[in-house]
Structure 1
């Protein structure tokens, strides 16, 4: 029996008829992009999160781009961003001709390290992007305190963390601005791509709303207040996301149940296998990532048993060829670099059957037993 990592067929099976109906209804409506469905979904996200403003866009990366542009990020501006993350948290900075200033991460959690953050602040620093990855949240209280002292805007990359919260505040609203991604693999995965910006800042919200749609204010068509983008969400994506949001809490609860089984099964495997199990915030499990001292061996062992895995991420961002112009070298970000050699993501999605969970657990335990016998 094979155990797929993404298994989109299972994820969308329940909504097959709904999806066909949405596509048909939008197709005969004459309203395809940024219409009533998008407005309704924005309202639903405001209600779910408590955000004052929600601005739907075409994907999570464009959400970052729009926020950074709205903040005036450009040449001569430094933006602090984690060295271990998806490329968007750095590429969006560079594409605006600003400078990504990479910050090393905590060796245990893999999230932006507040101590290194403070050490990396420059006179040109204007924004910091703490990123929540997998199911782990950045230390937002420490980052917020540092940012306030240095007058930095906190752009919370909460792309994978819709539904998570810390100290009673939803992820995405712990900074000055935030965002969620609706790429199909995400906890609230769409049919196609999508993203949304959230903020309680009126001026920033209005500026983001204009920049996503060619700089128009949404009142007078073809009056362009700014040079904006075509970063709009379409009606099919919005209507499906609103439908799926109705059962989203059940979906993330099922993800948490699977993660709890993994946590219990792997607790005795430390230090060879380590998992972040902090419980001082309410987590949402996007992916289940463990750290293994024998990561490549473990991945091959699982693959031989039909279990698909993913490596998030195989190379620290400062060492990516795209950022060679910044002059970083191996050893500059030791914690981020170490994580790229140890991190492995196991299958986890709400529709994952229990027998697949059993197979993953049995295989990881079997590998650990095999290693113990030969040590």
Structure 2
């Protein structure tokens, strides 16, 4: 007889890279979540850990840049620009990174039912609002948030809620918001935050209307929360689990560090890439290609579409678009293009929903909104 955990019950995947919704809770230690990296025996032998070359290469380059600024400032102009740029960005961003690691540990301890309860009923405007706010508060990069969004769709969230959650999430997590605020200030950060939420709400509302009209497929997994679910008790239980005891703080910090590796690798990569741009692309050329013009805006959209950079990595580059090109609209476009045009998200949406219409509606609705808002921001509106 096969072990119980190998029965195909609909819970998140933790074994062998299989898709979500194909493993049983016991497969992940009975909790339905593979939180500590332990591979269960029923899933076969644990795979050999792979070296995260992007993380280590970016970390080494950032360390070299900071060390160069502190101890080896002499050298060619490109070296001075790279080392100074790396040091300056890390000096501004370190507290946001630290706060983000703590936030990841806290959010990781929230029960899944509480998150689902926050989304509310699908197919209504209130549900879209709640999905947008939930996506804004959840601290994950756009690759991580994509997995969560698809899981929510399988759990019954409407297509509009799923897209609103996906659009609002990528750079609006707490860690990235703090990181961006440290680089460009709270004025532009809050403006970008609110505008991205508007795009998420508008897109989600239109999509749910198209679903009701039969133009887009409805979610076959749609269902209500369990009748005995109560948000208040679930919230109070979560608060008890988050008491600032030494044990809880230790676990949250440990989990935050472990679960932030994916985020940290892209933050460090983005800082490295931004420093390299600062070192090898003169200010006048940067402003010429990515300046506050329609051509610069479209070129920014093209660059963001082609370059597969996670949201945390895109934040330092977006900061450069404001600080060096005086193009806030381009910065907003670069941040949002990952949610609007990313081919990974489109393919995963197609696989999850089984419909190209449901997948392609994402760029078709969001890209025009992003470009219009970006153009208005560049005009000083």
* More RCO (CA 8 Å, sep 6+): 1
